[in-house]
């Protein structure tokens, strides 16, 4: 059999050692209510068995191993209200409260599990009808004991009470004289969390206290649902403030604050509920959600309080009003008793197991109960605690400082990065400006090159025209007009250029833009007779003489331009540039290439291979034409067919 939970010691015993005793675990008592009439009617079976006074055995209905839970006390359904009061040792808590400790009793469990019954007995049967003394709950019994105890003390004791409920996460004063309104929960160093403007009523008799209790119970919200006809829809906290003359030496911090002394608080938590099981709708469902949420927050705090390391740091008590108001009882200086209530029905087993686990965890939570602070000199234990507190504060401050420091470092890095970015931006702007200037220079170079190109193209044209006129001197009769050679076969391999037209109209081939042959020119009638210059060798026409802008012949060469051979023309860079001028790429910058002494117009010609081929072809054609003009007869008329009329390549 698996066993969960650990037996607890008696907090009162350890607290008797001094005002601030050792760490004390939360006391947990388990109460199993009897089967209700409705559960018996439905024939539900019990899944819980109490074995001994401190162990509860859970038998799953479908079989399987039993699970045992061990608590400070386990009470089955046969136990009376008085048994519960005795088992819970509430009197000891009352004694501690009288000595200035802060004590809390709270009930916890599923809806309809008997929490309210355990604390205050069954709901009153009618208006003003007191609960039968035998059914009175822990609270009434404690009240009776306390007032009797105070009477027997023989010393003046001031008793005061407050009663509030947390409904839908709002705090309402159940003892307020006016209509209840939400009250704020505040915190200060001396009091911890407290409810502002909460009415604290002084009472001197049991009857007066019972009246206050009845007043609060009647105001507390309750509704009927499937599992409970009088289900509490709020968490209720009734607090008794006990002050004795000895502790009244310490003045209250602010007006209206209860005098420093012991406290005994009874907390009746609303029950956790599965909305599907209770059938809650509308407002009931909203209430159920709020109840479950705050219980979850409480369970979370309890789980965190189990870890001693986490306990020193942050517990999210601020997550709900309930955890705020229970902060001192759970994790502070209080003495706490939890009464876990469960239903025995197997139908409720999932919720019962949840309650049992919750209670098991709670009883491993420890508090460090602290009594009233004596006036005057600080106790050594207090000094030690203060030192620890200051150390912790110091550590937190250092941490914050480090974080701020790292933020400062990040700020410096940001500033550095911004400065760098600004410098980069400046650099980019300068480079941009430089590039703009360069582009502008390139544009003007391109425009210059285009102008030169136009001039050169005209010069080429003129030169070609003159060359053609040389050829026509040796063409006796016009041949039938065949198409331009480029339309018949590729120009490059063809070395036969027909006699070119020398008329002033200068028609060009529409495809290759070469001057048309004389017999291909549509205006042959415009042919002008060539005037031969007697001074020129071999009767070269004047028009074919080199123009003034033509490059000089190579040194030592006696040849005239008309007699230049292939290699002569190859070396004539001017002509090459003339022919390739139209291919100048405007966007190409005029980068220096070749010999630095070379004229600027020659640059770039060598980079255009197709033009070089065309130039080569033209050179051959010109050379061939010149040779043919001197040695071959013109083709006979009437021949036809492709290539007819041309000499063989
Ligand atoms: N030990 C018990 N003996 C007899 N009847 C009981 C006992 N415990 C609870 N009951 C009855 O069971 C019903 C539900 O009890 P109670 O209202 O106390 O449950 P609860 O846990 O407070 O529920 P809720 O969370 O909904 O307020 C009531 O009618 C109550 O009288």
Mutate which of 116, 118, 135, 236 for ligand 1? The one with the most ligand atoms within 8 Å of its CB, which is: 116
235-243 and 158-167 strand pairing: antiparallel
How far from chain centre, in Å, is Cα 523?
A: 84
**Is 109 assigned to a binding site?**
yes
- The C-alpha atoms of residue 118 and residue 339 are separated, in whole angstroms, by 8
CB-ligand 1 contact for 137 (6 Å cutoff): no
List CB contacts of 60: < 8 A, sequence separation 6 or more.
Answer: 47, 66, 67, 349
- Both 351 and 445 in a single domain? no
Does residue 112 have its Cβ closer than 6 Å to ligand 1?
Answer: yes
End-of-domain residue from the set 372, 388, 418? 372
Task: Tell me the per-residue pLDDT of 286-301, one tens digit each, with 9 for 90 and over.
Answer: 888 888 888 988 888 8
Using CA atoms, how far apart are residues 543 and 538, in angstroms rounded to an integer? 14
User: Given 3-state DSSP classes, what are the helix, strand and coil percentages for the chain, each rounded to the nearest 5?
Assistant: 45, 15, 40
- How far apart CA 604 and CA 591 sit, in angstroms, is 9
Which atom belonging to ligand 1 lies closest to the Cα atom of 341?
A: 21
C-alpha 112 to ligand 1 mean position (Å): 5
Residue with the larger pLDDT of the pair 597 and 190: 190
pLDDT at 586 over 50: no
54 in the same domain as 196: yes
Query: Strand 335-342 vs strand 102-109: parallel, antiparallel, or unpaired?
Result: parallel
Angle, helices 282-306 vs 349-362, to 10°: value is: 40
Is 362 part of a structural domain of the chain? yes
Ligand 1, atom nearest to 270 Cα? 25
Same domain, 258 and 359: yes
Any bridge partners for residue 25, and if so which?
A: 366
Answer whether 348 contacts ligand 1 (Cβ < 6 A): no
Its domain, for residue 230, covers: 2-120+146-372
User: Is 645 a domain residue?
Assistant: no
- Residue 64: pLDDT over 60: yes
CA neighbours closer than 13 Å in the CB half-sphere of residue 67: 16
Torsion sign across C-alpha atoms 148, 151, 156, 159: positive
pLDDT in tens, 39-62: 999 999 999 999 889 999 998 877
Are 196 and 65 found together in one domain? yes
CATH number at residue 305: 3.40.850.10
CA 449 to centroid of chain Cα atoms: 59
Strands 228-232 and 222-225, sheet pairing: antiparallel
Which of helix, strand or coil describes residue 619?
helix
List 67's β-bridge partners, or say none: 2, 58
Closest CA to 266 of 192, 363, 162, 173: 162
Say if ligand 1 is within 6 A of residue 124 CB.
no
Our answer on whether the CB atom of 367 is closer than 6 Å to any ligand 1 atom is no
Q: Write down the ipTM of this complex.
A: 0.98
For the CA of 229, the nearest atom of ligand 1? 29
Q: Is 116 annotated as a binding residue?
A: yes
- The response to whether 536 counts as a known ligand-binding position is no
Is 112 labelled a binding residue?
yes
125 part of a folded domain: no
Tell how far the Cα of 75 is from the centroid of ligand 1, in angstroms: 15
Q: Which atom of ligand 1 is nearest to the CA of 222?
A: 27
- The reply to whether 547 falls in a domain is yes
> CA 357, CA 69: separation in Å to the nearest integer?
9
Spacing, Cα 114 to ligand 1 middle (Å): 3
Q: Which of 333, 352, 372 is the C-terminal boundary of a domain?
A: 372
Q: Residue 165 has which token pair?
A: 């409920």
Query: By the 8 A CB rule, do 145 and 85 touch?
Result: no
Ligand 1 atom closest to the CA of 113, numbered from 1: 21
DSSP-assigned letter for residue 558: -
At 125-181, the pLDDT tens digits run 666 677 888 999 999 999 999 999 998 887 788 999 999 999 999 999 999 988 878
pLDDT at position 312, please? 59
Query: Do 235 and 326 share a domain, yes or no?
Result: yes
Share of the chain above pLDDT 90, in %: 28
Residue 77's pLDDT is 93
Q: Both 454 and 355 in a single domain? A: no
Provide the number of structural domains found in the chain: 2
Q: Which residue do the tokens 């809650």 mark? A: 280
Pairing of strands 262-268, 235-243: antiparallel
**34 ligand 1 Cβ < 6 A:** yes
| 477 vs 460: CA distance, rounded Å | 27
Please check whether residue 312 lies inside any domain of the structure: yes
């Amino acid at each position: 059999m698996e066993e969960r939970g650990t037996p607890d010691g008696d907090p009162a015993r350890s607290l008797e050692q001094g005002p601030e005793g050792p760490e004390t675990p939360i006391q947990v008592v388990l109460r199993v209510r009897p089967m209700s009439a409705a559960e018996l009617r439905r024939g539900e079976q019990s899944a819980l068995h109490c074995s001994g006074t401190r162990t509860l055995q859970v038998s799953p209905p479908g079989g399987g191993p039993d699970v045992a839970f061990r608590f400070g006390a386990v009470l089955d359904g046969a136990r009376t209200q008085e048994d519960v009061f005795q088992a819970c040792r509430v009197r000891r808590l009352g004694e501690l409260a009288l000595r200035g400790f802060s004590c809390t009793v709270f009930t916890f469990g599923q809806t309809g599990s008997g929490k309210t019954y355990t604390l205050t007995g069954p709901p009153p049967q009618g208006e003003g009808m007191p609960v039968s003394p035998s059914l009175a709950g822990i609270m009434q019994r404690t009240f009776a004991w306390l007032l009797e105890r105070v009477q027997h003390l023989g010393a003046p004791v001031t008793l005061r009470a407050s009663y509030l409920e947390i409904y839908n996460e709002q705090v309402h004063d159940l003892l307020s004289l006016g209509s209840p309104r939400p009250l704020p929960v505040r915190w200060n160093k001396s009091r911890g969390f407290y409810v502002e403007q909460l009415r604290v009523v002084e009472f001197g008799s049991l009857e007066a206290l019972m009246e206050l209790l009845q007043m609060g119970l009647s105001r507390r919200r309750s509704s009927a649902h499937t599992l409970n006809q009088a289900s509490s829809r709020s968490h209720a906290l009734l607090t008794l403030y006990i002050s004795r003359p000895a502790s009244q030496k310490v003045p209250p911090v602010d007006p209206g604050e209860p005098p420093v002394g012991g406290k005994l608080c009874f907390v009746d938590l609303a029950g956790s509920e599965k909305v599907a099981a209770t059938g809650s709708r509308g407002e009931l469902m909203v209430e159920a959600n709020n109840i479950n949420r705050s219980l979850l927050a409480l369970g979370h705090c309890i789980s965190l309080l189990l870890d001693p390391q986490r306990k020193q740091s942050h517990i999210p008590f601020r997550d709900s009003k309930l955890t705020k108001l229970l902060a001192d009882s759970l994790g502070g200086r209080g003495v706490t008793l939890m009464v876990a209530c469960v239903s025995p029905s197997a139908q409720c087993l999932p919720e019962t197991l949840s309650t049992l686990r919750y209670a098991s965890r709670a009883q491993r939570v420890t508090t460090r109960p602290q009594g009233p602070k004596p006036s005057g000199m600080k106790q050594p234990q207090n000094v030690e605690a203060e030192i620890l507190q200051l150390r912790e504060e110091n550590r937190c401050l250092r941490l914050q400082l480090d974080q701020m420091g790292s933020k400062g470092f990040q700020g410096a890095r940001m500033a550095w990065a911004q400065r760098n970015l600004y410098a980069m931006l400046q650099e980019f702007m300068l480079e941009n400006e430089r590039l703009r200037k360069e582009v502008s220079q390139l544009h003007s170079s391109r425009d210059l090159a285009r102008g030169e190109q136009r001039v050169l193209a005209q010069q080429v044209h003129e030169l070609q025209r003159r060359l053609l006129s040389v050829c026509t001197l040796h063409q006796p009769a016009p041949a039938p007009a065949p198409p331009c050679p480029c339309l018949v076969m590729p120009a490059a391999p063809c070395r036969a250029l027909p006699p070119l037209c020398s008329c002033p109209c200068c028609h060009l081939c529409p495809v290759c833009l070469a001057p048309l042959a004389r017999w291909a020119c549509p205006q042959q009638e415009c042919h002008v007779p060539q005037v031969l210059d007697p001074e020129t060798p071999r009767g070269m026409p004047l028009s074919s003489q080199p123009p003034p802008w033509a490059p000089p012949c190579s040194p030592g060469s006696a040849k005239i331009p008309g007699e230049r051979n292939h290699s002569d023309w190859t070396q004539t860079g001017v002509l090459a540039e003339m022919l390739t001028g139209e291919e100048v790429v405007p966007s190409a910058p005029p980068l220096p290439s070749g010999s630095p002494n070379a004229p600027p117009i020659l640059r770039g010609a060598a980079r255009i291979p197709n033009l070089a081929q065309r130039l080569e072809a033209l050179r051959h054609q010109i050379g061939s034409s010149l040779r043919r003009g001197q040695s071959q007869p013109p083709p006979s008329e009437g021949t036809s067919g492709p290539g007819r009329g041309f000499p063989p390549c």
